[in-house]
């Protein structure tokens, strides 16, 4: 079987396309996997913590927890203090004057002083 020049060109052209397609598929499958692995490594690197900062943060949190446990006040103590404060507020409300009561009483005293001064002025400043 003999081939002429046109047939050889066609065979070489088809072999070139087949080689190109094979290389494209090989590149897409292999390098696609490499790109996906690279992306997953980047995500993993962004979402994980290195051991040294983790240990530092862990120690800091442990000391914070110890401090909180040492300074912790039970709720019953807070409730007792709250009840004592409410009792103190009731006592204060019963025993102390309000601002309005003070002004009213002071006005009475002021009127009495005015009456005494008016009486003194009518007397002409003479002692009786």
Q: What is the pLDDT of residues 5-41, one digit of tens each?
A: 888 888 899 999 999 999 988 888 888 888 888 899 9
In this prediction the pTM is: 0.33
Q: Is the pLDDT of residue 106 over 90?
A: yes
C-alpha dihedral sign at 120, 123, 124, 126 = negative
In the 8-state DSSP scheme, what is residue 128?
-
The vertex-114 CA angle with 109 and 117, nearest 5°, equals 125
As a whole number of Å, the end-to-end CA separation of the chain is: 161
Structure tokens at 66: 């110890």
pLDDT band of 103, cuts 50, 70, 90:
very high
Residue 120: CB atoms within 10 A of its CB come to 13
Q: Is the pLDDT of residue 125 over 70?
A: no
pLDDT band of 73, cuts 50, 70, 90:
confident
């Amino acid at each position: 079987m003999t081939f002429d020049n046109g047939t050889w060109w066609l065979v070489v052209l088809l072999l070139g396309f087949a080689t190109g397609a094979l290389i494209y598929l090989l590149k897409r499958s292999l390098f696609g996997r490499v790109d996906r692995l690279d992306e997953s490594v980047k995500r993993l690197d962004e979402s994980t913590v290195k051991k040294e900062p983790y240990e530092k943060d862990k120690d800091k949190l442990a000391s914070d927890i110890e401090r909180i446990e040492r300074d912790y006040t039970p709720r019953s103590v807070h409730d007792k203090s709250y009840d004592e404060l409410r009792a103190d507020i009731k006592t204060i409300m019963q025993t102390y004057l309000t601002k309005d009561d003070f002004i009213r009483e002071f006005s009475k005293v002021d009127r009495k002083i005015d009456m005494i001064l008016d009486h003194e002025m009518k007397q002409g400043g003479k002692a009786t």
